[in-house]
Structure 1
């Protein structure tokens, strides 16, 4: 497992829209580009377990979104999903890449849905060739936020950063991981460090409003999956209380010819809990769509 220091040393900071953003790329730039989009409340480090294997096959691209990880966390930002999507497209522009595949997780699923919606509505210069979603609130009607998330989004949300500490954070993390794949001390330490970096706790009450944005934009973001003509798959840990088995079943109901790979014993962070298994599942998806031409 890469330490945060190792991960940071591999990446670089760039300025996008006046903000300092941590970015990372690896692999051969002539190979197909794969954009990795992280979840809430973590950062691009979540992908470290898959990074090496994926970079041998693709040119992998990621960043820490605004308000997350090692990137800037401005207190006056609106933290709209559309703005996070802009961040990725602008980074791709700096790399002269406009042809991509997407692998996303959690909050990142919603950002990927927005980027996909732009393609569906002919609002983008980026061509997306496939999307793989990991555990996330693809359908707001069946998303089950944790109590801490409900508290964050309430009028008392401002209290959460004042009351949060590493132990409480660890307790919440354990509840969303699979019973047999709990977070290691290194995972807890790293995610906590990323969360509190640049006073990150203070922007959590603003970031959490992505839950409201999902409801407000449901037609556009769910429609992006339903109306897209590219290969899409959902790889998910079934033990996730937030977006596990119930989200998988709903996905199968709503999406015609749904491609789903369920890992019954994994939780909300499948790529952290069993990076090798999720890497293989993703590569299997890519191989299958390649064969279909």
Structure 2
């Protein structure tokens, strides 16, 4: 049975704001129960989670924000974007909401890197993480295969590429990373583009994509955190994603003890949009395993 979508116009009306380092950040909160932090990827925004939002909010206090430089949040031009600051932002949001108990995390793509940093901070007693599930993302720089547009944005001419980046370029890029039978509709592409171009977003894409070299510098710290094996982890991965598909999961099994992974056949880089029912099923199964069957039954009511 398909999950109901939340139209972007409705999603935007439900947002709230708070200030982070003098910048306005849009965030969303729903439900009650254990806190569940959803962290989106590049170059999109928290609307990526709209299919999963209501089912997860039936049992969790679900929290998400558009990170600095993304979606409807501030996109300052005179700013150096950093994954570590985005982790600070997540912690600031939780503090703003007065969340004090351990937090479950569900992350995707760029958000995986933010979640890895939060996991490292957990082991430094700077963050309390209850569990973490990663969707398709560059958990290991050696397996990450950036899309052509990302390579161009990283080049010395990246600032020009970003300013020239338009809806058609986005649609072409998405067609290469989604599964062949699960590509977004024209209407969905319009919505994705609305989020990217908001506040003149294309002019900072070359700054946001600096997360790729940042990942390389922080790789050993983050891999060591994943190898600690105290916080329950799972990977749910679209198998045919050319960026971080089955080849990334293979590396995960090589490096992470007792690796818990799920491969989704014929699904690409955005499993929460391409196959939300499957993602929800495997996420609930993970939470049931670490907390007991009552949790899953409540979520499915």
TM-score by length of 2: 0.94
Q: Aligned to 1:89, which of 62, 81, 91?
A: 91
Q: Tell me, which stretches of 5 or more residues in structure 2 are unaligned?
A: 294-301
Q: 1:181 matched to which residue of 2? A: 182
Partner SS, residue 261 of structure 1: strand
Q: 2:245 matched to which residue of 1? A: 244
Partner SS, residue 44 of structure 2: coil
Q: 1:36 matched to which residue of 2? A: 38
- Count of equivalent residues: 288
Q: Tell me, which stretches of 5 or more residues in structure 1 are unaligned?
A: none
Say if 1:120 and 1:228, in contact at 8 Å, map to a contact too.
no
1:104 paired to 2:107: yes
Q: CA separation in 2, counterparts of 1:86 and 1:186? A: 34
Q: CA separation in 2, counterparts of 1:162 and 1:139? A: 29
Q: Aligned to 1:45, which of 35, 47, 56?
A: 47
1:191 paired to 2:195: no
- TM-superposition CA deviations, 1:29-66 (whole Å, max 9, x none): xx101000000000000000000100002110000000
TM-score by length of 1: 0.96
1:155 paired to 2:159: no
Q: CA separation in 2, counterparts of 1:156 and 1:15? A: 32
Say if 1:233 and 1:259, in contact at 8 Å, map to a contact too.
yes
Say if 2:229 and 2:257, in contact at 8 Å, map to a contact too.
no
- TM-superposition CA deviations, 1:196-235 (whole Å, max 9, x none): 0000001100110100000011111111111241100000
Q: 2:210 matched to which residue of 1? A: 209
1:116 paired to 2:144: no
- TM-superposition CA deviations, 1:76-131 (whole Å, max 9, x none): 11111110001110110111113210000000000000111111123x1x310100
Partner SS, residue 58 of structure 2: helix
Map 1:219-234; keep pairs closer than 5 Å: 219-234=220-235
Q: Pairwise CA RMSD of aligned residues?
A: 1.1
Q: 1:56 matched to which residue of 2? A: 58
Q: 1:8 matched to which residue of 2? A: 12
